[in-house]
Amino acid sequence: MKKTTIESVIKMKGVTKSYWLSNGVEVPVLHGIDLDIKKGEFVALMGESGGGKSTLMNIIGFLHALDAGEYFLEGEELGRAQDDFTLSFIRNRKIGFIFQQFNLVTKLTALENVALPSFYAGKERVERLARAQYLLNSMGMGDRSHHRPSELSGGQQQRVSIARSLVNDPEIILADEPTGALDSQTGKEVMKILSEFKDRGKTVVMVTHDAHVAAYADRIVFMKDGLVLDHDYKLKK
């Protein structure tokens, strides 16, 4: 049998993070996270509220800096990166974000929202809009491209948000409770799209409370009190 080497896309060693209250009190949130996510994996992060899932997602997405430990992104140690250019470049090209509340810019149309990351990537307008339209079409949203977010349903807004996360063709998709604001039927449709990302070669990391949603993932990482308790948590049938 031929042995294949699967490369780590996200690898963390001993990552810690604390928040500081205004009265100077330190609140430790992550106590030393080790994490290894391979290319093309679909990983769900589960755990109780306050367990550090969102903080870990923010660190993975370079929205927060870690306090200590190491973070390798595609083999490169970038946990110490602090300059705005590097951080914004990674957020723009390497990572696509999908949020629970969609986080679309309200005054822009669906098409403009999808195209926005490629604006910051310096792509030409024609190219941006063509790619955005293609992605909206692929999400079944082609006829809604000139609608503003307020004119779209929750499920439609999340599709726009998913299309936006793909526009710069990033390696990693980070989804924070992507079905949290949707009804179960729409949630299933969204999860179907996310689970197809594997076929596009994307690595997906998703935070969820919902076992049905987590079931779409290849692997579940279970967190509690700022630590990873189980790297391959099995859901009870």
Partner 1 sequence: MKYELLIMAAKSLKANGARTALSMLGIVIGVATVIAVVGIGVGAKQAIEEQYKNLSVNTLMVMPTRGNAASTRVSEEDVPFVLGNSTLIEKGTAMVMGNDTVTYAKEEVSGSVVGGQASVFELLNLKLLGGRTFTEAEVSARGNLVVLGYTVAESLFDDVPVDGVGQFVTVGGRKMEVIGVLEENGSSVGPMTPDDTAYLPYSTAESRVLGTKAQKLLMFHAQSPDVVMLAQDELTQLLRENHRLRDSVADDFRIMDAGSMVSSATESTDTMSFLLTSVAIIVLLVSGIGIMNVMFVTVAERTKEIGIMKAIGAQRQDILLQFLLEAVVLSMVGGLLGVALGYSVLPFLGDYGAVISAEGGLLGFGFSVVVGIVFGFIPALKASRLDPVDALRSE
Cβ-based nearer residue to partner 1, 104 or 214: 104
Regarding 166 and contact with partner 1 (CB under 8 A), the answer is no
Residue type, 59: I
139 vs 220 by CB, closer to partner 1: 139
| CB closer to partner 1 out of 107 and 192 | 107
The interface region with partner 1, picked from 34-42, 93-101, 203-211, 227-235 by CB under 8 A, is: 93-101
Residues 218-237 that bind partner 1 (CB under 8 A): none
**217, two tokens:** 């993932």
Q: Is 49 in the site for partner 1 (CB under 8 A)?
A: no
Report how far apart, in Å, the C-alpha atoms of 6 and of each of 41, 75, 135, 216 are: 10, 12, 28, 21
Residues 96 and 165: their CA atoms lie apart, in Å, by: 4
Confirm or reject binding of residue 19 to partner 1 (CB under 8 A): no
Nearest to residue 12, comparing CAs of 81, 102, 79, 57? 79
Residues 6+ apart with CB under 8 A from 64: 17, 55, 58
Q: Binding of partner 1 at residue 153 (CB under 8 A)?
A: no
Would you tell me how many other CB atoms lie within 10 Å of the CB of residue 234? 9
* Per-residue x/- track, 95-114, partner 1 (CB under 8 A): --x-x---xxxxx-------
Q: What would the DSSP string read from start to end of 20-34?
A: E-TTS-EEEEEEEEE
Q: How far is the CB of 5 from partner 1 (least distance, A)?
A: 30
Contact residues toward partner 1 (CB under 8 A) are 58, 61, 63-64, 84-85, 88-89, 91-93, 97, 99, 103-107, 116-117, 119-122, 125, 164, 168
